Amino acid sequence: MSQGIDDLEDLFDNAPCGYVSAGPDGRITKANRTFATWLGRERSEFVGRRFQDFLNIAGKIYYETHFAPLMRMQGFFNEVALDLVRADGSRLPVLVNAVERRDEKGALRFVRITIFNASDRRRYERELLEARRSAENANAELQELNRTLEERIAEAVEARMKSEAALRQAQKLEAVGQLTGGIAHDFNNMLAVILSALNLLERRLAKGEDISQYIAAANDGASRAAALTQRLLAFSRQQTLAPEPLYANQMVAEMSDLLRRTLGGTVRLETVLAGGLWQVLTDKNALENAIFNLAINARDAMPQGGRLTIETANSHLDEAYGAEHDVKPGQYVMVAVTDTGTGMTSDVMAKAFDPFFTTKGPGKGTGLGLSQVFGFVKQSGGHIKIYSEIGQGTSIKIYLPRYYGAAETRKHLEAKARRRA
């Protein structure tokens, strides 16, 4: 028996945790040796005092304001982090459990307080807190960086957009300059013809000589000036189209002489005209003008000479093609102008129909030719497409909607065309 009690006392005194018993009034009745050793005090020093008397000031306040009420209301508390004060004034971090022991009638007998040394744990917690704080700081810095990064990107994008807008404006001005230069040059030439004709006219008239050729020259100069203004109007899409039913084959045939002369000796003209070609309803002058424009571009793309082919064909644009190229599906008459010239890069192809876009030198091209063609084709409800390969050549295909005229008219026109051919 005595052996058993010794054993229990040894367990109590030398347990790896502190044990404190307090009476119903909160005063300590018993503390084990472990607890006394931790605090550097005699066991007898604890008796009659309260547990909170050995806490640091914050612990005292928290004990009174939080844990004592908690104890009273739920009868226990667990793992509360508190600091005890040793006899030498140093601190001992502990975790404290406390539980009320009551008798059968519910009266409070005593309070058992168990204390664990939490020096290591508190250190880990502090390190963890510090790690968390520095992680939070790093995160905050990163967020700040991200935030300013977004700002910097927004600024850069805005600057880029501004400079692009400025560039576009500059390009437009350059194009207008080129156009103005080209027009001035052309007009000057035409006026020179008219003026010199008038000058000669004046002199010959005084001598009573034949003046008809000078009148013809002045007429020609004035006509060309009028044609130029017509082209400018076409570019501004203000030209009046007078559509009529016509056969493209016939038109191409009629143009070939003029085209051959224009193309010069080094470029060979070939025409591949489809039999049974449908008729189209379009403005004859505008279509001629378009073919002429394309032919001149083709010629300029073949400075070393080459072959220019004008081809016609009946064509059907299906739903898929129509959806892809923003054109109404259906039957079209195709007129293609193909050269064996230098070809275009995809960049040039993308801009080829832009007004004022030109690859020719200043004063040579107005940048209006293809744009004018494009304007005419669109105004006629048609479609235009460029196929080109660098070094191989370029093919530009114009599609104009098929005209379903009265059979009689068509027969009549076909007969007429055959007679002409």
Residues that bind another protein (CB under 8 A): 25-26, 50, 52, 56-62, 64-66, 68-70, 72-81, 83, 95, 118, 122, 125-126, 128-129
Residue 53: DSSP 8-state: G
Structure tokens at 47: 């008796």
Closest CB 64 distance from another protein, rounded Å: 4
Closest CB 89 distance from another protein, rounded Å: 12
Closer Cβ to another protein, 7 or 125, answer by number: 125
CA–CA distance, 277 with 283 (Å, rounded to integer): 17
Query: Of 172, 176, 181, 175, which Cα lies nearest the Cα of 359?
Result: 175
Closer Cβ to another protein, 47 or 58, answer by number: 58
Are 110 and 23 in contact by the 8 Å Cβ rule? The answer is yes
CA–CA distance, 9 with 372 (Å, rounded to integer): 112
CA distance readout (Å), 396 to 297, 298, 335, 399: 10, 10, 8, 10
Closest CB 24 distance from another protein, rounded Å: 10
Closer Cβ to another protein, 68 or 217, answer by number: 68
Closer Cβ to another protein, 66 or 412, answer by number: 66
Are 98 and 52 in contact by the 8 Å Cβ rule? The answer is no
Closest CB 84 distance from another protein, rounded Å: 13
Closer Cβ to another protein, 3 or 74, answer by number: 74
Closest CB 38 distance from another protein, rounded Å: 18
Closer Cβ to another protein, 80 or 217, answer by number: 80
Closest CB 131 distance from another protein, rounded Å: 12
CA–CA distance, 411 with 417 (Å, rounded to integer): 10
Distance of CA 222 to the CA centre of its chain: 51
Closest CB 13 distance from another protein, rounded Å: 27
Closest CB 128 distance from another protein, rounded Å: 7
CA–CA distance, 294 with 11 (Å, rounded to integer): 110
- Counted residue by residue, the chain has a size of 421
Question: Over the Cα atoms of the chain, what is R_g?
Answer: 51
Closest CB 44 distance from another protein, rounded Å: 20
Query: Of 372, 368, 371, 373, which Cα lies nearest the Cα of 180?
Result: 368
Question: Please, how many CA atoms are within 13 Å of residue 243, restricted to the half-sphere of its CB?
Answer: 15
Closer Cβ to another protein, 128 or 215, answer by number: 128
Closer Cβ to another protein, 56 or 359, answer by number: 56
Closer Cβ to another protein, 50 or 378, answer by number: 50
Query: Of 348, 353, 339, which Cα lies nearest the Cα of 391?
Result: 339
Distance of CA 188 to the CA centre of its chain: 46
Are 92 and 86 in contact by the 8 Å Cβ rule? The answer is yes
CA–CA distance, 313 with 407 (Å, rounded to integer): 20
Are 98 and 112 in contact by the 8 Å Cβ rule? The answer is yes
